[in-house]
Structure 1
């Protein structure tokens, strides 16, 4: 890893939405299916659910915006089309640049 690698920032695609009552589990399965289609530049994904509700947040990490856009292929679009009717209304989506990342230090057990 060289110095330029430290200057490069990851990007995140964040989607916030609410599913119709009882549809979160079906949406979760489609989410996992969609994430499995990702290849180049994909750095990880999280799906969060507000306890006791059908509201959630998806956070997907990418090496670049170009990689994120390149992964929105035909298979991904087909899965998304199956997921959209599960929402109460279309989710709010935003792309963020990751500008600070803090990881816990590894602790050696004695």
Structure 2
């Protein structure tokens, strides 16, 4: 899976954390909070999988697992989730955190 760590740090305003306490295994997470919303993404690089969680006041709003992901790409205030060069989901980092799912 292709992604730019600096782009992810810029969108999430933080560095990644290891999911397994083993930095080199490719399993990382990013998290950002705005107002009462929290957006988390779990990246499993070598399995080409990501999981996305959006909560509001610590209550789940959205959860999605995405397989066969080739690339995570920053475009302005969006993080595009790409499968075979097609956007299947977009995470928005605007004034409000949001997720839109494209036709899969």
Normalised to the residue count of structure 2, the TM-score between the two structures is: 0.34
Name the one with the larger strand percent.
2
- Greater Rg, structure 1 or structure 2? 1
Name the one with the larger helix percent.
1
Relative contact order, CA 8 A, sep 6+: which one is greater?
A: 1
